[in-house]
Structure 1
Amino acid sequence: MTMIHLRSLTLQVMSWTTGLKWKGSASPDHTCVKSKMKDPMVIFFTSGTTGYPKMAKHNQGLAFRSSVPSCRKFLKLKTSDVIWCMSDPGWILATVGCLLEPWTAGATVFVHNLPQFDPKVIVETLFKYPITQCLAAPAVYRMVLQKNISNLRFPTLEHCATGGESLLPEEYEQWKQRTGLSIHEVYGQSETGITCAIFREMKVKRGSIGKAILPFDIQIIDEKGNILPPNTEGYIGIRIKPTRPLGLFVGYENSPEKTSEVECGDFYNSGDRATIDEDGYIWFLGRSDDVINASGYRIGPTEVENALVEHPAVSESAVVSSPDKDRGEVVKAFIVLNPEFLSHDQEQLIKELQEHVKSVTAPYKYPRKVEFVSELPKTITGKIKRKELRNKEFGQI
């Protein structure tokens, strides 16, 4: 178990069991290279939820952005903070949460070599070590909640944040009730880093992914790059003209055609569907490929999934479109049941779940098809691979 303190450019790796283990600095023979802002720094692979992963190349601006105070409103790390970011080091969330943000703030990074996410070990760790901030995917919080551990009042934990996929409102409420802490949601992509979030001082609107973080100007746009009015569904767009903001990727490596595809007028088109309200809060609906067109109604899968997981029978769900001879497409839900409901009458349970979705969303949004499964296909970061389920429905795999 190690703790890496990033107060200066010298890294100190400490062990709580053995004391100071190593302290070093750069070799006197080392020659520093003075890089420029536009020099390439890192390539991240996209998660591949809707297709093959792409290589998103970033320049040095990604690191510089973390030193700008207006860009650090999300975590607000202090030198006294100990942050545990439970993300694979290959992903952009870890680069920001485990390196750039702590390094800039002079905070301490907690590192645990977990071979896989084990909710029991996670809980034990949060009780044993003085961790003040936790940054993890919603799946991690979900696994902890599902274990029904009696005491989740962690002695030093002050702030919880999540990103990578949508946090379910039910999970937010359960975590707050059992820990006394809110989970602050963050949104971003491999191409963008963290672009919007629920800041610590902000009012939390359940289901919203928060507001834009400077220097990003985020608008909801149509396919031509026109800005849409509040409460109108469109694409999450980041303004790139006349000035491309720090932290936005340079382009897809060796793929200029794919880079040009996401440049839409004055905006980068994220491919994610959302709305924005009058207060500037953004409401994520799903990837453009995930939105279901049923009898002229456009239905975002996230809202239906949120409704389903509120029912005590549902552990996890994934909602996709399914072919229908009369309606073209209908909503289908793949559902993982909680163990105590496995023996229930499935036909009756399907009717109950359908009525539940009708009552909390709208009558036209309920899943006309339901399939109970033992698990859902996911990426290695825990995101549900809806494309795999959708392709299966349409006979492509």
Structure 2
Amino acid sequence: MITELKPEEGIAGKFVKTAFDENGVLSKIEFTNDETFNFAFDVVDALAEKTPDKTALIYVSRDKEEKKFTFKEIKECSNMAANYYKSLGIKKGDRVLLVLKRHYQFWFTILALHKIGAVAIPATNILKVEDYRYRIEAANVKAVVCTADDKIPDAMAAIDPDDKVIKVIVNGEREHFHPFDKDILSFSKEFARPTGEDTVYAHDTMIIMFTSGTTKHPKMVAHNHLYALGHYITARYWHNVKTDGIHFTVSDTGWGKALWGKLYGQWLCETCIFVYDFDVFSADNIMKLVEQYKITTFCAPPTLYRILVKMDLSKYDLSALTYCTTAGEALNPEVFYKFKEMTGFTIFEGFGQTETTLAIGNLKNTTPRPGSMGKASPLYDVHIMRPDGTLADVDETGEIVIKIADGEPYGLFSTYNNDEKMTKEVKHDGYYHMGDTAYMDKDGYFWFVGRVDDIIKVAGYRVGPFEIENEIMKIPYVLECAVTAIPDGTRGQAIKATIVLTEGTVGDDNLKKELKRYFKENMASYKRPRVIEFVDEMPKTISGKVRRVEIKEKDWK
């Protein structure tokens, strides 16, 4: 028996209706009043009117300095930022690259861009110069807003010495960069919703996220403004956030996971977001903050849980904590059991992509099965498909697909920007093809098997072999190379480089050390191969393509 559709409570009720089964599990969701939906105006600003003094964001710097922002302050600061960016010439449709780590200015900026109708392009601070150059050129970026940390301004200046790109710096000052923190103070706290030709519509592009592929540069995943609504389930029925709670998702703002856990769904649910702007990862620091700030709901990648179960968690007061979730890669059943044994908490796993919101998950009021991703979200019509395009039977492995023949669900990406061919390769014949393989049991639980392609997941990061191989092939004595995943007890997977050297080059330990020095200097940390193997020749197909699958099979035995 399914209840009738009713509006959700609070601000979300204007846009979201839900129904439930006899066990109180979400079974259906619909959206309303969404033609011109804009998260910044319709949610954040509405909350500033409804509960102006409610804490929206708790920010803790790397030095443990605290700042708190109410919804009223978030509204005012995002309005000031919107006026500021407009004064710099940023307008509707312009692309703006954001490299802001976990700085609180990220929230002011992304909301300001939503209000203007500009397109936000988040990026992590651990990329290299060439990574940023590719993003700026491929996305036709008009402006960059970046941290003063980690030599990011040096990278931006090197890419754009002629100042063709508007450059804004946060938490510092530098020649040829506009100082955000200083300049914003002179702008109005009022910003009217654009009208006429500047009207921002729900189907306009809001966000572009870069994601990796196996044989190409990172893809540009474009989402419209309805993407924010698609994350309502993520926060309310997976993270299980409460209006009087504090939610902490461990993620840098340059990764899609930040949009899952540090913005849209959480504020749709009117909860407080907790942010720790650390530079050096420390599980001990994170757990101390969970205790100190009385975090109620917590989401982290499996990598962190693998570390936590090897720690003495009894020394932390977790009495305020009520719910734990994970995503990014498959959670090992032994970690699930050990964490529950140590803390009493069940870890509710979820699954999705940069291209989606939560597609499969263990939602509120369900019973997780360790090792399973959970059941399909009511937002998505999820199936398992055979290679021939027919739907698989129960317990039969195939590709995970989402039916789109009757319309595309909110939260599913619009297109791969500037790549209609690639878009059609994954959206065709009435389905979106996720590129991951799994099987579904008789009760509707999905069990992850692996990638259709060769994407590597390292500690929650998605890495494409092609971009790493391109860098390795720049080394003069490398004749051929193949990058694959190998098992790693902590990170889930690590990266291996299999290399064929040029004639006369000796592949010894000294050369491996030299290669690792090169990787450190030229690759983001999560892209660096941890294992190097020299071989005389690569396994190849008849057509001459490297058979990465054969390398992987040997390493995963």
TM-score by length of 2: 0.51
Note closer, same or farther for the CA distance 1:222–1:273 as it changes in structure 2 (3 Å cut): same
Secondary structure of 1:110's aligned partner: strand
**Is residue 137 of structure 1 aligned with residue 301 of structure 2?**
yes
Which one of 324, 344, 348 corresponds to residue 160 of structure 1?
Answer: 324
- Give the distance between the partners of 1:262 and 1:119, measured in 2 at CA: 38
Work out which of the residue numbers 255, 267, 271 in structure 1 matches 2:419: 255
2:313, 2:343 within 8 Å by CA — same for their partners in 1? no
Q: Please, which of 82, 89, 92 is the counterpart of residue 256 of structure 2?
A: 92
From 37, 48, 56, the equivalent of 2:221 is 56
Residue 119, structure 1, aligned to residue 283, structure 2: yes
Q: Which runs of 5+ in 2 are unaligned?
A: 1-42, 80-187, 456-484, 499-519, 540-545, 549-557
Percent identity, aligned pairs only, is 30
Letter in 1 for 2:211: T
Match of 1:76 among 210, 235, 240: 240
Q: Which has the larger radius of gyration?
A: 2
User: Is residue 108 of structure 1 aligned with residue 266 of structure 2?
Assistant: no
- Seen in structure 2, the aligned counterparts of structure 1 residues 119 and 290 have a Cα distance that, compared at 3 Å, is same
CA shift digits 1:6-28 (9 cap, x unpaired): 79146755579878677532446
In the aligned structure 1, how far is the partner of 2:220 from the partner of 2:423? 10
Q: Counterpart of 1:30?
A: 191
Report if aligned partners of 2:350, 2:358 keep a CA contact under 8 Å in 1: yes
Task: Give runs of aligned pairs for residues 150-229 of structure 1, distance below 5 A.
Answer: 150-151=314-315, 154-229=318-393
Aligned twin of 1:338:
none
For the 8 Å contact 1:77–1:105, the answer to whether it is kept is: yes
Report the AA paired with residue 265 of structure 1: D
- One of 400, 403, 408 as aligned partner of 1:236: 400
Question: How has the CA–CA distance of structure 1 residues 382 and 281 changed in structure 2, closer, same or farther, with 3 Å as cutoff?
Answer: farther
Aligned residues of 1:137 and 1:164 also touching (Cα < 8 A): yes
Contact 1:65-1:71 within 8 A present in 2 as well: no
For the 8 Å contact 1:290–1:386, the answer to whether it is kept is no
State the alpha-carbon separation in 2 of the partners of residues 81 and 173 from structure 1.
Answer: 26
Q: Distance in 1 between matches of 2:280 and 2:204?
A: 35
- Give, in whole Å, the separation in 2 of the partners of 1:246 and 1:192: 9
Contact 1:152 1:179 in 2 (8 A): no
CA distance in 1, matches of 2:424, 2:404: 13
8 A contact 1:49–1:384 mirrored in 2: no
Q: 1:31 to 1:179 in 2, by over 3 A?
A: same
Name the aligned partner's letter for residue 90 of structure 1: G
8 Å contact from structure 2 (residues 331, 349) kept in 1: yes
RMSD: 4.0
Q: Which has the higher contact order (CA 8 A, sep 6+)?
A: 1
Deviation of the 1:225 alpha carbon = 3.2
Q: Secondary structure at the match of 2:281?
A: coil
2:47 corresponds to: 8
Taking structure 1 as reference, are residues 45 and 187 closer, same or farther at Cα in structure 2, changes over 3 Å only? Answer: same
Superposed CA offset, 1:279-325 (max 9, x none) = 1100010101359xxxxxxxxxxxxx9xx88xxxx5566499999xx
| Partner SS, residue 249 of structure 2 | strand
- Please list the CA deviations of residues 113-155 of structure 1 after superposition, one character each: whole Å capped at 9, or x if unmatched: 1113211111211222210011111111112223445535512
How many aligned positions are there?
A: 322
How far does residue 35 in structure 1 lie from its aligned partner after superposition?
Answer: 2.3
The 3 A distance-change label for structure 1 pair 198 and 18 is closer
8 Å Cα contact 1:163-1:187 kept in structure 2: yes
Q: Using a 3 Å threshold, how does the CA distance of structure 1 residues 135 and 50 change in structure 2: closer, same or farther?
A: farther
Tell me, which stretches of 5 or more residues in structure 1 are unaligned?
292-304, 324-376
Deviations 1:319-365 (A, max 9, x none): 99999xxxxxxxxxxxxxxxxxxxxxxxxxxxxxxxxxxxxxxxxxx
Amino acid at match of 1:59: N
1:146 is paired with a residue whose SS is: coil
Structure-2 change in CA distance of 1:156 and 1:383 (3 Å): farther
Contact 2:224 2:413 survives alignment (8 Å)? yes
Question: SS of 1:73's equivalent?
Answer: helix
CA contact (8 A) 2:313 2:342 kept: no
SS at match of 1:79: coil
Separation of aligned partners in 2, 1:391 and 1:274: 32
Structure with the higher fraction of residues in helix conformation: 2
Q: Identify if the C-alpha distance between structure 1 residues 13 and 73 changes in structure 2 by more than 3 Å, giving closer, same or farther.
A: closer
Give yes or no for contact 2:372–2:445 (8 Å, CA) kept in 1. yes
Once the 2 structures are TM-superposed, how far is the Cα of residue 201 of structure 1 from its aligned partner?
1.1
Alignment of 1:285-364 (within 5 A): 285-289=449-453, 318=493
Distance 1:388 1:40 in 2: 41
For the residues of structure 1 that align with 2:398 and 2:296, how far apart are their CA atoms? Answer: 37
Question: TM-score of the superposition, structure 1-length normalised?
Answer: 0.70
